[in-house]
Amino acid sequence: MDKRIIDPNESVWLNGPNERRFELVFALKVFWEFIRGFRALHFIGPSVTVFGSARFKEGHRYYEAAREMGRHIATETGFTVLTGGGPGIMEAANRGAHEAGGRSIGCNIVLPHEQAENPYVDKFVTIRYFFVRKVLLVKYSFAFVIFPGGFGTMDELFETLTLIQTGKIHNFPVVVMGSEFFQPLKDYIKFMAEQGTISPTDLDLLLFTDDPNEAIAHIRHYISSNYKVQKRKRPSWWLFEKA
């Protein structure tokens, strides 16, 4: 497990202009975080990223649904299951893939109350900055599956929808699992479309469902029609790379 702790001075960079040396050091830290992430995830293969609350425990209906979804992703698409690497929904999805013999990867985050990687990841990387982590979780993913969660889950969902809406990523399927939990959100998104703040076509790739089979069919449809999955190259020993 990565034993790094949060630097109490990290939040200073949000205070506006700082000393030039401070800004340079911060930029170099961000650059290094990206390099670490690229090196760790380059060979994981095409992935489906699963998001959701870290607070659900084994036996909870959403935990078990995410566990089943991880198994479906592994067995029916052959893709890697990629999560934030922590507990709750993340653990459940990793666990389902792991138990099914699929590949299970975590992209963890350093938090004030340390979030350890769950025991079902085959490989993980711990990132210091949320925005770096979000880039990595999108970069290596061919689809998102969103389970019930809090602010972090909503942040990840709407940032992805914004990237789709603005054309930064194309034909990226997003599956929202948990119809009862997300019904108010679904109604509000419909209201936004009615008010003209978003286009109805922005929602074409967004599926609300409780059925993992429907979710997999939705993901496979867009992957097969809009993506060309390329086999990853082998690691280079002289770069000290690992698969």
Listing DSSP states for 93-153 in one string gives HHHHHHHTT--EEEEEE--SS--PPPTT-SEEEEES-HHHHHHHHHHTEEEEEE-S--HHH
pLDDT at 29 over 80: yes
Beta bridge partners of residue 107, listed in sequence order: 125
- The confidence score (pLDDT) of residue 232 equals 60
Give pLDDT, residue 237. Answer: 67
Question: What is the per-residue pLDDT for 224?
Answer: 76
- Distance, in Å, from the CA atom of 125 to the CA atom of 35, rounded to the nearest integer, reads 11
pLDDT tens digit sequence for 52-93: 999 999 999 999 999 999 999 999 999 999 999 999 999 999
CA distance 37 to 181: 32
pLDDT at residue 3 in the model: 46
Give the chain's domains with CATH numbers. Answer: 17-226 (3.40.50.450)
pLDDT of residue 2: 44
In 3-state terms, what secondary structure has residue 59?
Answer: coil
pTM (predicted TM-score): 0.88
pLDDT in tens, 103-155: 999 999 887 665 678 999 999 999 999 999 999 999 999 999 999 999 999 99
Instruction: Establish how many alpha carbons lie within 13 A of residue 172's alpha carbon, considering only the half-sphere containing its beta carbon.
Output: 26
> Hey, is 215 helix, strand or coil?
helix
**Is the pLDDT at 11 greater than 90, yes or no?**
no
What sign has the CA pseudo-torsion 205, 210, 214, 220?
positive
